[in-house]
Structure 1
Amino acid sequence: MASEGRSAESSPAAAAEAVESAGFVHVVTRADGDALAAGGLLARALADRGTPYQVSVGRTVADRTDRVRDRQPAPDDVAIGIGAIDADVTRLDETDRPATLAALEVVRDLGATPAHDLALAGLVAAGVEPGAGESEWLLEAATERGLVERRPGVAVPTADPVDGLAHTTRVRAPWSGETAATRTALEGLGVDLAAPDAFDADDHRTVASAVALDAVGDDDAAPAAAETIQQVLRPYATPEAPFATIGGYADVLEATARDEPGTGAALAMGHDARRPALDVWREYGRQTHAALEGASTGRYDGLFVVGIDDGPVEAVADVAAAFRSPEPLVLTIGAGEAGLATRDAGTDPLGPVLEAVARELETAGIDGVGYDSTRRRGYLRYDPDVDESTIIQIVRERR
């Protein structure tokens, strides 16, 4: 049964109190970069205290609920949920706030020092500009310690701009998803692509300008692309982190959380998972751009529908909302799953929409229904035999 998911309490203070004297902590998170970073921050704090723990990632509310209910806990075991769970667990996150910010509160309450780069990456994955609002202290602390430095360029996870730009899901341009095409686009810029570690500020600035022009000037680009591209320019470089920039780190967290959560969890927990994580990220980016390239589209009042044969529906919805959609809300439909994304932070949360859609599908006798959501993104799973027109109609009625 589809359910919005309820838990005993939902606050950082309750989570800190619950884990402080726990003998074992089971962290069950949503499958996105923000939640993955939050789970990693908590796991690292538990490791510092010597508290045994396990991190599980669930794609839907039902998946996370099953992870909790399938365990036979000891009396001093504690389950912490990050994301909706239809079980009696303590929720770390709160509805209108990134899970990463909540996790930072818990880490400080436990007397641990957070991984600043991971936390900043989690915030970017949640759509928060580093240093904005509650994160001001975090950026200041990271800057003072020399962990981040702002520079010209583009926010990708690798020093190699060809590799980074070809596979990132934070940019959409004519060459996206294709290494050879990306290299061709950059070769005429007068920068030494063979020595990216030697780039100076002018080299980074030259690449960033070309990327911005290509993204905004693409024939298929929506007006929103001009604003969206600003979010990946002038990145925070991370000389001591696993990845070249905070924005690039966020991109890898998103890819691994959705496509290979075991690798993503290992990365967030601080294990040496950089290489496999980059492999996942590259394939994820390639599939996303290939799917968008071959997609069918339809426009409705306030809704842009993208139909794909194969590929990560959530990422396609994200990229389309940021660079392609003339409407603020995007629905991507694949085989038995759909992704929903909005670029308008002021809209109502997508959770009630996804829950209503899931309930209507179940009421119609559809098997295998599951869903999950944050304020700006959503995921829906259902029987592949369901016609896409049915999904479109229900979403249009419920949004």
Structure 2
Amino acid sequence: MSTAAVMESPPPETPTPAPDEVADALADARFVRVVVAPDGASLAASGVVARALRERAVPFQIRVRRASAYAVADDALTLRVGSAGLADLTLGDPETAPATAFEVARELGTAADARLALAGVAASEADPAASTLADAAGLDRAPGVGIPVADLADGLGHSTLLHAPFSADGDAADAALAELELPADLDDDARRRIASLAAVETATASGATPRAAETVARALNPLRLGDGAPFATIEGYADVLCAVAREEPGTGVALALGHDARTPALDAWRRHARHVHAALRSADTARHAGVFVVRTSPPTDADATDSDTDSNADARRRRIAGRLRTVARLARDFRSPEPTVLVLAESVAAAATHDEAVDVAGVLARAVENAGSDADVDGTAREADALGVDADAFETAAREVLS
């Protein structure tokens, strides 16, 4: 196999072909390199395709990569999932990639994993119950909260589907649940009370916006998975995929491939949640026309240093960027009175929006250019980050772009 080259600033996205065309190309490939954006929806979609390739005995490799770097090899077919850039095939939109991947797997004549694809749909912030994949998976909504584990305090305390006073605080979650006096065996009524607790605590928390009451609904009345599933609910599964794609992408790939990675994936999910909730809770905020600015300390591990190898330092910077993107999403959904959020922490920025007229990846790219920076921008129209920025100059440039 030829030596991989790295191409900076990849050209515009290859159009997404029909699922049968993708399947035909993959079936005939000698080797498939899957390049995956660092988000839960793209990770799930890549896992659906990769499991189908494995069933068809087509050799493959998965890499979770930022869009600014692209590995190529002469004898490999490259499938890019969740981002734009040079590739032989592209499932570029993370919102549609999981469902498309499921159709590709079916076109390959394999046992397509509807539950993994459905978790990808939930990770894209779409309603999984409204997807035809819910029927394919044989799942219906049930009372309760969409957490990945059976332990309620653990699930509520580490969920990034909401931001409440008990988030990242196990004792507070335990205390809130204790007040419900739940039975040992939870019935539907008990699960409804838990859902009400989560909704009320989230919507009435200090600093919560009216949007918080709407967004917390994503975590309620989940698609519950039965015994033998790696996680308790589809929504919880999605939450883990989102966290692990940014926290420990190697573990995320193993999870998406169906390996026994539940324990390390949950560890990464808990670690991600602790950092992002703490970063948002301790942030300084300011409201401007059209944008809510959040300044926080970099959400790093206390024992992490940059004294190891360059690759380890790069991995830590990417992890910080991923955490800040989650902070931006939480701020957008639960704390921001404006539709767009800009998060700043030393040399890293992130943004998220629910304004369909705003492309935050484009905003960050223009801000980088206007600030005269060579920062690395990655992301989508809804959520993005920039590595290597001067926080003050970048805030000014980004606010000018958004004005």
Amino acid at match of 1:381: L
Alpha-carbon distance between aligned partners in 2 of 1:8 and 1:323, rounded to the nearest angstrom: 35
Shift of 1:208: 1.0
> What residue number does 1:397 align with?
400
- Cα deviations by residue, 1:284-320 (Å, 9 ceiling, x for unpaired): 0011111111101011101001111022101111111
**Residue 359 (structure 1) aligned to one of 369, 372, 389:** 369
Q: 1:2 to 1:54 in 2, by over 3 A?
A: closer
Shift of 1:180: 0.9
- Cα deviations by residue, 1:11-30 (Å, 9 ceiling, x for unpaired): 24443232120111110010
Tell me, what secondary structure is at the counterpart of 1:210?
A: helix
Tell me, what secondary structure is at the counterpart of 1:102?
A: helix
Alpha-carbon distance between aligned partners in 1 of 2:109 and 2:247, rounded to the nearest angstrom: 33
Where does the alignment leave 5 or more consecutive residues of structure 1 unmatched? none
Alpha-carbon distance between aligned partners in 2 of 1:228 and 1:85, rounded to the nearest angstrom: 28
Contact 2:83–2:92 (CA<8 Å) still a contact in 1?
no
Task: Write out aligned runs for 1:211-290 (5 A).
Answer: 211-239=198-226, 240-290=228-278
Shift of 1:394: 1.7
Alpha-carbon distance between aligned partners in 2 of 1:119 and 1:379, rounded to the nearest angstrom: 25
> What residue number does 1:73 align with?
74
Contact 2:325–2:351 (CA<8 Å) still a contact in 1?
yes
Alpha-carbon distance between aligned partners in 2 of 1:242 and 1:88, rounded to the nearest angstrom: 32
Q: 1:208 to 1:298 in 2, by over 3 A?
A: same
1:335 is aligned to 2:353: no
1:158 is aligned to 2:149: yes
Alpha-carbon distance between aligned partners in 1 of 2:296 and 2:18, rounded to the nearest angstrom: 39
Q: 1:4 to 1:327 in 2, by over 3 A?
A: farther
> What residue number does 1:91 align with?
90
Alpha-carbon distance between aligned partners in 1 of 2:56 and 2:369, rounded to the nearest angstrom: 42
Q: 1:2 to 1:208 in 2, by over 3 A?
A: same
Alpha-carbon distance between aligned partners in 1 of 2:61 and 2:8, rounded to the nearest angstrom: 26
> What residue number does 2:30 align with?
23
Alpha-carbon distance between aligned partners in 1 of 2:160 and 2:239, rounded to the nearest angstrom: 7
- Cα deviations by residue, 1:317-336 (Å, 9 ceiling, x for unpaired): 11111111111111111232
> What residue number does 2:186 align with?
199
- Cα deviations by residue, 1:95-136 (Å, 9 ceiling, x for unpaired): 8x521122122112212222111111100111110143xx32
Amino acid at match of 1:376: R
Q: 1:217 to 1:88 in 2, by over 3 A?
A: closer
**Residue 104 (structure 2) aligned to one of 100, 103, 106:** 106
Aligned residues: 371
Amino acid at match of 1:280: A
Q: 1:5 to 1:190 in 2, by over 3 A?
A: farther
1:298 is aligned to 2:286: yes
Alpha-carbon distance between aligned partners in 1 of 2:274 and 2:379, rounded to the nearest angstrom: 24
**Residue 43 (structure 2) aligned to one of 26, 32, 36:** 36
1:62 is aligned to 2:68: yes
Shift of 1:86: 3.9
Contact 1:122–1:250 (CA<8 Å) still a contact in 2?
yes
Q: 1:16 to 1:300 in 2, by over 3 A?
A: same
Shift of 1:207: 1.0
Q: 1:36 to 1:88 in 2, by over 3 A?
A: closer
Amino acid at match of 1:78: L
Shift of 1:370: 1.2
Tell me, what secondary structure is at the counterpart of 2:128?
A: coil
Alpha-carbon distance between aligned partners in 2 of 1:12 and 1:53, rounded to the nearest angstrom: 21
**Residue 370 (structure 1) aligned to one of 363, 367, 376:** 376
Q: 1:12 to 1:333 in 2, by over 3 A?
A: farther
Q: 1:211 to 1:9 in 2, by over 3 A?
A: closer
Alpha-carbon distance between aligned partners in 2 of 1:101 and 1:360, rounded to the nearest angstrom: 38
Contact 1:12–1:93 (CA<8 Å) still a contact in 2?
no
Contact 2:14–2:88 (CA<8 Å) still a contact in 1?
yes
Alpha-carbon distance between aligned partners in 2 of 1:358 and 1:101, rounded to the nearest angstrom: 34
**Residue 347 (structure 1) aligned to one of 339, 351, 357:** 357
Q: 1:104 to 1:202 in 2, by over 3 A?
A: same
Tell me, what secondary structure is at the counterpart of 1:139?
A: helix
Amino acid at match of 2:134: L
> What residue number does 1:115 align with?
113
Amino acid at match of 1:106: V
> What residue number does 1:129 align with?
127
Amino acid at match of 1:337: V
C-alpha RMSD of the superposition? 1.9
Q: Structure 1 residues 273-282 or 308-317, which shifts more?
A: 308-317
- Cα deviations by residue, 1:215-246 (Å, 9 ceiling, x for unpaired): 11112111111111112111110114211111
Shift of 1:62: 1.4
Where does the alignment leave 5 or more consecutive residues of structure 2 unmatched? 1-6, 300-322
Percent identity for Structure 1 against Structure 2: 40
Shift of 1:374: 2.1
TM-score after normalising by structure 1: 0.88
Contact 1:107–1:113 (CA<8 Å) still a contact in 2?
yes
TM-score after normalising by structure 2: 0.87
